[in-house]
Structure formats: structure tokens, C-alpha cells
Structure 1
């Protein structure tokens, strides 16, 4: 099949397929004249790449795993397992950071809820500032 049909079946675009090839993520396709010809097996490569991207892998992380491979039988499952373990560790660290941030924001929200200026009441900055009566604008007084 040609690149348009292949991309459609793979759920992507011909541009993405060309990029995967350029990066070495897909085996070099056979050619019929100037046209690329893909096999059904090649859909599995694209499915793996797209799923890896969906799970947070960057194409640059996949290049060392897939570059130069020509058959699925050569697939580096052990390296993929290491990549997955590394991604899980990154996610766990990010979750811990977000949990700390959540706790800090929750504490801040609780303190703000108790603050006297929450409902528009003025906060006394300097005791002397509030000891003197405020002069009322005579133009606004009602007789």
C-alpha cells in the first residue's frame, strides 16, 4: 500500500510517516518507482510509536530503541521495559511534587479563609493610623 492509505490505516498523516522514516523509527520502505510501498507489518511499528507518544515518550527517546531495526523480531523489549520504568519514575516524582504543591496551596487557602480582610474589613497596618477619626467629606453629608 502507498503512503496515503498506510497513514490513514495507521491513524496518522503522511507527513508523520515521513518524519518517522527520517528519524529512523520505521524501517526503510520498499519502493515502486518513486512511491513508498508499505506492508501490513509496518502498521505495528506505527502503532507502537503512536502509543509510546500517547504515554508521554518523545520521538527522540524512541530513536535509540528503534533506529536501524528492520524486523519486529529484533524488537528491543528489554530497552522498552527500561524506558517504561524511567517514565514511571518521572511520573511518580512529578506526582509527589504536585502533592506537595497541593498541600501548600491548601494551607494557604485555609490561612486566607481566616484572614480578617477576607470580607473587605480593613486590616490595621499601624495602630496610630486608625486612632484618628477620618474626616468626612462635607459634600457627601446628608442634612
Structure 2
């Protein structure tokens, strides 16, 4: 943790002094949110959520995979720490997919998730690829 913090501080310092963009790839959401201005969550090689890091808080998360990632980490300062897991196994990326790749692992999956790949749509200051939000948008329209 100490080395990780020192490395992130060094990268931030270099970004300020040299003015470059860095891409951070990690499953550790606490590091990502602390070190980035924008967070793009990917699952099976596809973007499922894209938003400013400051907006990536539990009550503003839209995609079930993003929510599951947050559940895998806990605040070490909390009195009680509860860690969740993501059920199932990742998809076989060698197979063609025409549906939501996360659907077999998603506790919120609906019928369309198993038939059609969701498109990124604008939601709450960011973008999300989830039928739960595209369905809600269709009902409103």
C-alpha cells in the first residue's frame, strides 16, 4: 500500500509537471477513483460505464458490474467490513457475443439482456451500457 501510494503520487506529479494523460488499469476502485479524473469500467472488453470519477459514488452507480466491483472492496476505516463477490465466471471471449456479456452473472438481468447487446446511453452525467437504463428510457419516451 505504501509503495502503491508513492507510485501514484509520482505519476500525479509527473502529470502536473509534464502535462500528459495516464491510463490506469485496475480492479481496485479506491485507487482508480483517487487517481483519476474519469473512470471507464469495462467488462469482457466492452465499456459498461463511463463517468467523471467524482460522480462515481455508490448512489450514482448505474451498471450492475460497477456496483459489484464496489462491493468487492470495503472502507478499511469502517467498523464492520463486508466484502461481496461476483457470482459465476467471466465469459469465454473467443465466442461471438450478441447479448450482454455480464447477464449470466448479473442479479438484475432481464430477458432482453440475454438476447441483445446494450448500447451506451447517456445517464446521469455519464454513459452506461445496460438494458435496465435503456428500458427505462423507452418507457419514458
Same fold (TM over 0.5): no
Work out which of the two has the higher radius of gyration on C-alpha atoms and give 1 or 2: 1
What TM-score do you get using the length of structure 2 for normalisation?
A: 0.25
Q: Which has the larger share of helix?
A: 1
Q: Which has the larger share of strand?
A: 2
